[in-house]
Structure 1
Amino acid sequence: MDTMRERFITTAARLLDDDPRLAVVLAEISRDGFDRAERAHPDRVINVGIREQLLIGAGAGLALTGMRPIIHTFAPFLVERPFEQVKLDFGHQGVSGVLVSAGGSYDWPAAGITHMAPGDVALMGTLDGWTVQVPGHPDEAETLLRQAAAGEDRVYLRLSLQQNAQARPVGAGSGFTPVREGGQGVVIAVGPMLDNVLAATDGLDVTVLYATTVRPFDAAGLRRAVGARETADVVMVEPYLAGTSTGMANDALADLPHRVLGLGVGKAELRRYGQMDEQLAAHGLDPRGLRERIGGFLTS
């Protein structure tokens, strides 16, 4: 199976052939994958070098001319380093485009904290008008990229090396999808966390919801899952900063007695970086760690 990043490269290159409105803007990362596309469309594959603020500014400049930019690099260099440009060049100027990140929170541990961005979704959530999508499979990433490229809104597409064994139906604007039904609580698994959540909750009487679009937050979908219960226990399992979406889950259930547990990447830096599976275990996001915390929360 190819990775989400590999699927992004092949799909974006094909989209350039089909839609003259599109342009791909890079900052060295993944440049080799676009060699053919750059030869075919030298004016629409733009590499600005290791200049992430310019990356965002150039993409927004293209958007001002009526182009639809697809802007790509690792997550910390796409969201955190040039955040002011994302806020001003896109938001303040009222233009749109597609930001596509790689690396996520723990994909390349050997590169260290400089190449990790567990706070990216929380940061993007401070901005108005952005759709944030977190696919869990290369097929889902391709579908969401194609829809974003054809659209007119601002989209942040977050890719990862971690992926689920099978793709689920996804679509622009789609909310939380029920994967398993139960009566004791609701567990929301975001993107590549689904397989670990399903393994962790095997045998537990819980509803499991799958989320790839996390902004806007599907409050109505959560309420449907809770149903007519007089109280609700909800667990959010996110592959980025723990608690990123717990406030929105609380707001969705404001008129109902409830508890919300946010599981995700901790704030403390793990300085023994190890491998991705070791990062997951250290943050309690492997099946064993999730089972302990979800089970303990539901029975407490």
Structure 2
Amino acid sequence: MDTMRDRFIATATRLLDEDPRLAVVLAEISRDGFDEAARRHPDRLINVGIREQLLIGVGGGLALAGVRPIVHTFAAFLVERPFEQVKLDFGHQGVGGVLVSAGGSYDWPAGGFTHMAPGDVALMDTLDGWAVHVPGHPDEAEALLRHAAAGDGRDYVRLSLQSNSRARPLIPAEGRTGTGTGTGFRAGFATVREGRGAVVIAVGPMLDNVLAATEGLDTTVLYATTVRPFDGEALRRAVAALTGDAADVVLVEPYLAGTSTAAANDALPTTPHRVLGLGVARRELRAYGELADHLAGHGLDPRSLRERITTFLAR
């Protein structure tokens, strides 16, 4: 199976052929994969070199000129390093674009902490009007990229090397809903498993681990590939189907733990509830290891997740 990043390169190349309003802006990362696109569309495939602030500035400038930019590099260099440009050149200027990251929280451990961005979604959460998409499979990455490219809002698509074993269908929409979304899909949490004891929300590539961790437990599992806007209505429906006077909600996210706990709390203003936010810990894991080692180190492997979830539910 190809990776999400492979699929992004192939899909973005086809999108340049299909839609003349699109441009791809790079900062060296993934440059070699776009050689053919650069030959076919030299005016719409722009590589600024290792200049991440310029990367975002060029994307914002293109958007001001009526172009729909697809801007790509590692998450640490797309969100964290040029955050001021993301805030001003897109948000303050009131223009849209598609930011597509690779690297995620710990996809390349040998690169060290400079190439990890577990806080990227939390950082984007401080800005107004961004839709945040976290696909869990290359097929979902392609669908969400096409969805975002067809729109005119501000979209952040977070790719990862970690992938679920199979793609899940995105939720169809009758029309455009939510900031930053295109036609064909709407932001929403899909029900993968139904239960009456608790609700567990699995974000993107965490779904397979969550399903393994909750096997045999009386839990509803919701699957989120778009986390902003947060689907409070789906959470309220799932909570309403639980037994008991109070609700337990567990969020399992592939980035900073607790990023969406406030959104979950806000979705349940009149319901007695508890929320457990699981994700990447604030502490830095300083040993390189492999991706699987970082999952286990942050308690996001199936065994650790089951222990943490069952302990929370038993309290």
Q: State the TM-score bracket (shorter-chain normalisation).
A: over 0.9
Amino acid at match of 1:223: R
Percent identity over the alignment is 77
User: For residue 179 of structure 1, what is the aligned residue in structure 2?
Assistant: 192
1:26-63 Cα deviation digits (max 9, x unpaired): 00000000000001000000000000000000001000
Runs of 4+ in 1 over 2 A off after TM superposition: 171-174
Q: Find the aligned partners of 2:77 and 2:298 in 1 and give their Cα distance.
A: 23
Aligned to 2:259: 244
User: Does residue 283 of structure 2 align to residue 268 of structure 1?
Assistant: yes
- Work out which of the residue numbers 205, 214, 226 in structure 1 matches 2:227: 214
Q: When the two structures are superposed, what TM-score results if normalisation uses the length of structure 2?
A: 0.94
Instruction: Report the residue type matching 2:268 in the other structure.
Output: L
> In the alignment, does 2:313 pair up with 1:298?
yes
- Cα drift, residue 228 of structure 1: 5.0
- Kindly indicate whether residue 209 of structure 2 is the aligned counterpart of residue 199 of structure 1: no
Q: Output the CA distance in 1 between the equivalents of 2:215 and 2:53.
A: 45
Aligned match of 1:286: 301
CA RMSD, Structure 1 to Structure 2 (Å):
0.7
The 3-state SS of whatever aligns with 1:94 is coil
Q: Which residue of 2 aligns with 1:123?
A: 123
Structure 1 residue 256, shift from structure 2 partner: 1.0
Q: Could you report, residue by residue, the CA deviation over 1:200-243 in whole angstroms, capped at 9, with x for unpaired residues?
A: 00000000000000001111110000115431000000000000
Counterpart position of 2:152: 152
SS in 2 for 1:272: coil
The farther-off stretch of 162-171 and 152-161 is: 162-171
Given that 2:196 and 2:241 are in contact with CA atoms closer than 8 Å, whether structure 1 keeps it comes out as: no
Counterpart check, 1:44 vs 2:44: yes
Shift, 1:254, TM fit = 1.8
Hey, what's the Cα distance between the residues in 1 that align with 2:199 and 2:149?
33
Tell me the residue number matched to 2:178. Answer: none
Q: Aligned partners of 2:255 and 2:91: how far apart in 1? A: 23
The one-letter amino acid of 1:242's match is A
Residue identity matched to 1:196: N
SS in 2 for 1:100: strand
| Equivalent residue letter for 1:174 | A
Rounded Cα–Cα distance in structure 2 between residues aligned with 1:7 and 1:193: 19
How many residue pairs get aligned? The number is 300
Counterpart in 1 of 2:11?
11
CA contact (8 A) 2:187 2:228 kept: no
Q: Secondary structure at the match of 1:32?
A: helix
